[in-house]
Structure 1
């Protein structure tokens, strides 16, 4: 038994309160080494004489990779307190007891040896808005979605789609353009819009804010935006705005005051200045986003800065009824600020969604006191590498996604923001070298996975584009130039996600088998079971799926009913897929 591979700590994501009655617990062991794990648990004060009245309950293997087996269990402690440990039995029937103080050959007599969950406080539970679990997002880069009001066009605006995007050109996208195409979004099945920044700024991307309380005039005015939000809500579409609180733009009035008055500026403590004179050219002599001189970093520990930004957070919710904030460069802002930010936002709108842009392991921000979710780039990387780029084998892909699912608590996974690409990355069809069949597999996987998925504008009709600025092309509205077959496929997936039990978010996910360029996975609820088989290869492939043995199912895309044999081998055509709804 490889006891050095047995891992648990009494912290997230290994133990946490899922709800006000339930505690989830996870253990890691070496792949294939442990045959059975039992949780030993009881209230820490439950004694008869000097004997602790513990119980045992078998844990379930929730996932496995080439290195690790994950074991999970949910328990409902009667008095909200818990002491616990683990009994691990290997394939040779050897057993060992694992507690906070290490390993023993028998159950330790000292209650203090065991892991401790002191008390389940409802206020400490990670709680994100429930509506997010059933939301499908659509990311809109406002300058490039649709030009609905030419009177708002900035100087030197180009005819729509007349040339490739550059870091500096404008095509006149605006709020009216979005409103003109809400029927399109509703037909697709979208229930949430994520707008990149809409506030007054110098650039076409608007991540260099000039005034956080004003709409950029090229998009419209506040009344137009208010109307847009109202029209979205009438269609059941939520609206999330993008805020840049890590840094401002060059023309932000306090920074301009610093450049003008230098050390005499009343705003000099709003920024992280290294020396005087402050030089906003070339390599900056102050903290900035990266080393971009036009984006000076704000000091969010400064009381005036904090008040200004928290007033911004409150204002757009209270005045315009927005439903969430996406927070740019969120990992470079201090945790204390984000804790205060959450308090302000949730007071203004308790079910507002708070989404941080973080590209790496984000457990520190997902304890229930800061964000509801982060942009799930670990998911993105695995899915795009395997399906679109085809430079990851199926076993590595399954390992990657299994690890992603066990990085965070289940209630965190259920509201994770699962994107495939964005304004910051190359478009998925470009990553796939134009192979639409790979993209269909990628969408099928994304839209049948756990979390809240996001589609980048235009991907659903086959738009292409490399990294910024190539990924920021004008939306193609000429249907003769759109891939309508891909649109219809995505639309069908969104309909299935909404209507087919187990297809969407509210189901457990696990891989069942991997083959050469193939994966099989299960989505399961108490009342429904779906099994997906995907072939990411240009050749027909066969994979054995033991979980289908002797079962009856219906393939959802063909509606064919099948009774599976005891040895169940599934053949899937090149770049093909199957989704079996288990009937018995």
Structure 2
């Protein structure tokens, strides 16, 4: 063998048997000492490992200690941030290990591991199961409440069994009558399902049912109840040790907002003729101008600001989902846009340091997710969009061949998204299978049979799972328009008695109890076409997730690198309590058509 071939062999070996990340398994902070660890799960090579790290702008290098299968070192750490990568060598061959894995070249700084001492992140979110509620479509308790801004265009449905009209007909002016009292009456149901945090779509005074055309940030829309209704909901959630967050758009208001009636035009972006800028050209959505200091005071700065009001007693909201957060001032001043978000974070965290800043964003968000602006995003880019491509959605014939059931492409997309942000931030990203803005996956043709696989993926993947109301019963809907994503909840559905519903509850219960699914590492294993196979690992605890999205049984060989071939390990099924399997480093598996399961060494 020539030298290049030997290096390739060494590199490929390390790719399979070397692992580290910035999880609690490999990073441990004790006062001002930070212990950084790397695993080598084999003995074929004698390795020397050098840690290259940067603190406070200074680069340093140090050789790691070696004990059994661990390489480790304690270093002094008095800063808020450290980045690092490993240099691994044997017999003159050198490779490098960073977030992107093994490389023959020195990794760029964007691929270095990062550890953040972020004291103002929402720690409670790590163990959370979110449940998004479009209030008008969830449940109605008591009499219908009169819409404050009633117009001839309003359509009131008589029953939750009716289907919503298309946008072309209703213009988002159709109401089913769901309200906050209805949400409150279903808290026990949500608690039993395993939900810890409810995320309420906009409930402030507005004209439309979706509420993104806000008329008054200081009052709850009468169609949903009142400020007192939200206070009562908060108190009931507290009894169940549950939280809630509010959806809000501080990028724009509706054209009927009280600020317009009070002639506070300086709150809005205007052109040279004093015409107010319409957000994305939508005539009734007026863009707010954050070069106006008075607006900043009103929205987030002052003691009695809008955002601080709802975080405070008696409402005690745990945080916000910010609609189109990437748009704030961005067209006016790109750099001021980022300064604005840092300032908003500073003020909200000064009020409650564990308050949540969740932002709607559909693209790669690493600029915002470095611990100084947003806590997390609705994870379209890093989860749902790659998954939709894998399932063959929104693809033309050419791309269908490229993406459909291509496990390598899916895993590559998921990995690449994780590479862009610190590990601690990846644990906070909000994963979902659908929302009020995008079709529910299981409503697409031939995807309902994938429901169990989708549920397992949602609950077990790195990040925080968020159910859209009705996901637990495969709520019906259409896939071609927003109204089809927002069907009224079917409280009479026979699916409450289904195996799928029971399995979802089992998965949720397991995740809430086991930190391995909350803060553990993720290792993607080689997956046959149409499958997703990965491991979540935390210290000695781990879960093996096997998902088959195809209509065929699949036989395959599976290597689990951190196990040995000498000793078999028993894993227990989370979904079938009497089922268990024996695994070692090299395994031969059969996954039946559409079968999915989660196995763990935790009883």
TM-score (norm 1): 0.79
Structure 1 residues 268-312: Cα deviation after superposition (integer angstroms, max 9, x where no partner): 32211114363xxxxxxx433211011111012210111111110
Equivalent residue, structure 2, for 1:315: 309
Structure 1 residues 144-192: Cα deviation after superposition (integer angstroms, max 9, x where no partner): 1111132414464211232324422111110011111112111111100
Superposed counterparts of 1:185-224, under 5 Å = 185-224=190-229
Structure 1 residues 441-479: Cα deviation after superposition (integer angstroms, max 9, x where no partner): 011011011211100001111113223121111111113
CA distance in 2, matches of 1:204, 1:193: 19
Gaps of 5+ in 1: 6-12, 28-34, 46-51, 59-71, 100-104, 108-113, 258-264, 279-285
RMSD: 4.0
Equivalent residue, structure 2, for 1:55: 63
Superposed counterparts of 1:279-290, under 5 Å = 286-290=276-280
CA distance in 2, matches of 1:338, 1:73: 39
Structure 1 residues 525-573: Cα deviation after superposition (integer angstroms, max 9, x where no partner): 1131221222111010012112265522233133333334774111011
* Kept after mapping to 2: 8 A contact 1:271/1:298: yes
* Kept after mapping to 1: 8 A contact 2:254/2:285: yes
Superposed counterparts of 1:424-443, under 5 Å = 424-431=437-444, 433=445, 435-443=447-455
* Kept after mapping to 1: 8 A contact 2:64/2:73: no
Structure 2 CA distance for partners of 1:96 and 1:570, relative to 1, 3 Å: closer
Equivalent residue, structure 2, for 1:372: 375
Structure 1 residues 346-387: Cα deviation after superposition (integer angstroms, max 9, x where no partner): 222222111111111212212222221111112111233335
Equivalent residue, structure 1, for 2:356: 353
1:25 to partner: Cα distance: 9.2
1:84 to partner: Cα distance: 6.8
Structure 2 CA distance for partners of 1:313 and 1:171, relative to 1, 3 Å: same
For residue 491 of structure 1, the aligned residue among 505, 523, 527 is 505
CA distance in 2, matches of 1:217, 1:173: 11
CA distance in 1, matches of 2:375, 2:602: 36
What is the aligned length? Answer: 519
Structure 2 CA distance for partners of 1:127 and 1:485, relative to 1, 3 Å: same
1:203 to partner: Cα distance: 0.6
Equivalent residue, structure 1, for 2:50: 39
- Greater Cα shift, 455-464 or 375-384: 375-384
Equivalent residue, structure 2, for 1:301: 291
CA distance in 2, matches of 1:445, 1:152: 40
Equivalent residue, structure 2, for 1:552: 569
Equivalent residue, structure 1, for 2:133: 140
Equivalent residue, structure 2, for 1:68: none
* Kept after mapping to 2: 8 A contact 1:42/1:55: no
For residue 330 of structure 1, the aligned residue among 325, 350, 359 is 325
Structure 2 CA distance for partners of 1:75 and 1:240, relative to 1, 3 Å: farther
For residue 486 of structure 2, the aligned residue among 472, 493, 497 is 472
CA distance in 2, matches of 1:567, 1:121: 33
Matched, 1:507 2:500: no
* Kept after mapping to 1: 8 A contact 2:521/2:537: yes
- Greater Cα shift, 555-564 or 458-467: 555-564
- Greater Cα shift, 407-416 or 476-485: 476-485
* Kept after mapping to 1: 8 A contact 2:139/2:178: yes
Structure 1 residues 376-410: Cα deviation after superposition (integer angstroms, max 9, x where no partner): 11211123333584834111111112222222111
- Greater Cα shift, 407-416 or 36-45: 36-45
Matched, 1:384 2:388: yes
CA distance in 2, matches of 1:357, 1:439: 25
Equivalent residue, structure 1, for 2:462: 450
1:484 to partner: Cα distance: 3.5
CA distance in 2, matches of 1:164, 1:145: 13
- Greater Cα shift, 447-456 or 481-490: 481-490
* Kept after mapping to 1: 8 A contact 2:49/2:88: yes
1:240 to partner: Cα distance: 0.1
Structure 2 CA distance for partners of 1:22 and 1:410, relative to 1, 3 Å: farther
* Kept after mapping to 2: 8 A contact 1:437/1:575: yes
* Kept after mapping to 2: 8 A contact 1:18/1:126: no
1:195 to partner: Cα distance: 0.4
Structure 2 CA distance for partners of 1:185 and 1:387, relative to 1, 3 Å: farther
Equivalent residue, structure 1, for 2:164: 164
Matched, 1:568 2:580: no
TM-score (norm 2): 0.77
Structure 1 residues 49-99: Cα deviation after superposition (integer angstroms, max 9, x where no partner): xxx9842469xxxxxxxxxxxxx9986422547897753659x95438999
For residue 518 of structure 1, the aligned residue among 531, 535, 548 is 531
- Corresponding residue SS for 1:172: coil
1:21 to partner: Cα distance: 4.9
Equivalent residue, structure 2, for 1:577: 596
CA distance in 2, matches of 1:512, 1:148: 48
CA distance in 1, matches of 2:495, 2:225: 28
Equivalent residue, structure 2, for 1:362: 365
